[in-house]
Amino acid sequence: MKRLVLAAAALCCSLAAGAQSFSLNSEKGIYAKGERVVVTLEGVSASATLNFHLNSLPEPFASIKVEPSDGVQTVLDTTYNECLSIRLALVPEGGKNPLCEQGFIVAPEECTTGYTAPKDMLRWWKKQIKAMRAEPSYVRVVPVPSPREYLSMFEVEIGGPDGIPVSGYMAYPTNADPASLPAIVYCHAAGDNHWTSATRELTARYAGRGDGCLVLDFNAHGMDNEREDEDYYTPLYRTTLKGYAERKPVSRDTYYFKNMVLRAQKAVDFICSNRLWDGNHLIVTGTSQGGYQSAFLAALDPRVSAACVEVPAGLDQGGPLQGRRGAWPQQVERYGREVCDPVLPYFDPALILKYSKAEFWCEIGLFDQACPPRCVFAAMNQLTTPVQIITSQRTHWRNKATPEWNRMVDMSRDVFFERKLKD
């Protein structure tokens, strides 16, 4: 039976930029239908506009003027009788960037996906995976210096679809016995430059979890990792990878994300073939686009025992079919349904998460516009396995959050990892 845990309520405290800050009368930012919603604002030092955005849509459905005040102002006091999310953004007069933001959601258990799964979606993906596995390939494993003395580390390159390899680092405790280690596969977020490459430090950090792990950290595009010369990355994101996420989805066979998912599957196949893997514990993890890849792996591969996804992208891309914003890369908003409907549902892992055998940990940002809360809740509602959900007041980027908030999220995720490495 599915278990929905809305944990770590303290993470939903308001995150303010400067003196202004919001507060909710719900620590988790979650309300039942008919429950009273009260939002207060304090520390306003100059006149500003408060915009209300429904279901993550870019244009506000209402705006009010807020005057300076040293005290606490109630800016919303109402009830809602339908499933919805609202983002509040306080914007200075004549400005665009919010001074502070707040989000909440009503009846998240009723969130559903915009698209439904095509009848042949799972069969189509299994066919692609079978064809990929049948293709000639190669594996190159080269020892590299490890940031931790007790770990062995390797640069890994595995031949992938259309000649684009899986490229990353593998690490494990040097003296590990055969069939003794849980495995972790780390998938990277969106981007096309050095900061989305695999790193030895990240690989080592995950290999040091629990009593030691077998880890593969790979980038999404088959790039070289940790190149110090920007002359390597700059041409990539100006040419080969330019606007990859925004390319028109004209065909299932040519859409960029097809081979991205297949490379992720190749990474899992590789790590599961290692003699050190214990055969039972396999965690996939990542943020944003990394969460997207992880969700696909959890849906497609029954060997995945747990998935840890932070503000996952690409889940419920059909939001506009319900009159709301869809998940990144928001192709329906860009190209319309006539272009997207024949192709995009095949690349929405939310539609097949019901097949997953994995337990999930998921962070949802309540005013995240790249990965809207209704989208991610809709995806998590498809699971039949246990899921622990962390709701938090954040944009899509962690650098907008406080160090305290980051530590609290990390602590919750660490507890999940420690448990799933042993369960």
Residues 215 and 172: their CA atoms lie apart, in Å, by 6
3-class SS of residue 70: strand
Place of tokens 């995806």: 379
Q: What is the Cα 130 distance to its own chain's centre?
A: 26
pLDDT 10s digits, 1-16: 354 544 444 344 444 4
pTM of the entire structure? 0.94
| Residue 57 clears pLDDT 90, i.e. is over it | yes
- Count other Cβ atoms within 10 Å, centred on residue 130: 9
- pLDDT band of residue 405 (cuts 50, 70, 90) is confident
Name the nearest CA neighbour of 398 among 15, 89, 3, 30. Answer: 15
Q: Span 11-110: which CATH code?
A: 2.60.40.1930
Where do the H-state alpha helices sit in 230-275? 230-238, 256-272
| Residue ranges of the chain that CATH labels 2.60.40.1930 | 11-110
| pLDDT of 163 over the 70 cut | yes
121-420 has CATH 3.30.230.10 classification: no
Side-chain-side CA neighbours of 304 within 13 Å: the count stands at 30
**For residues 374 and 27, what is the distance between their CA atoms, to the nearest angstrom?**
18
**What is the C-alpha separation between 285 and 21, in angstroms, rounded?**
32
pLDDT over 70 percentage in the chain = 93
Residue 336, H or E segment: none
User: Edge-to-edge strand order for the sheet containing 62-66?
Assistant: 30-31, 100-106, 84-92, 48-54, 62-66
- The secondary element (H helix, E strand) that includes residue 205 is helix 200-207
3-class SS of residue 165: coil
Digit-coded pLDDT (tens) for 232-246:
888 888 898 999 999
Residue 98 near residue 394 (C-beta atoms within 8 A): no
Does residue 413 register a pLDDT over 80? yes
- Sole residue written with tokens 């025992």: 305
In this predicted structure, what is the pLDDT of residue 312?
A: 97
CA angle 207, 307, 396 (to 5 degrees): 95
**Angstrom distances, CA of residue 380 to CA of 58, 108, 291, 371:** 24, 10, 12, 13
Question: What is the average pLDDT across 249-278?
Answer: 98
What are the beta bridge partners of residue 91?
Answer: 49
Here the tokens at position 164 are 């684009």
- Mean pLDDT is lowest, of 184-188, 304-308, 330-334, 406-410, for 406-410
Residues whose CB is less than 8 angstroms from the CB of residue 334 and which lie 6 or more positions away in sequence, other chains included: 246
Mean per-residue pLDDT, 360-384:
97
Of 62-66, 114-118, 231-235, 419-423, minimum mean pLDDT range: 231-235
Q: Where do we find the tokens 């400005």?
A: 95
Residues of the chain with CATH 3.40.50.1820: 121-420
Distance, CA of 32 to CA of 178 (rounded, Å): 50
196: CB partners within 8 A, 6+ apart = 188, 189, 190, 219, 220, 221, 223
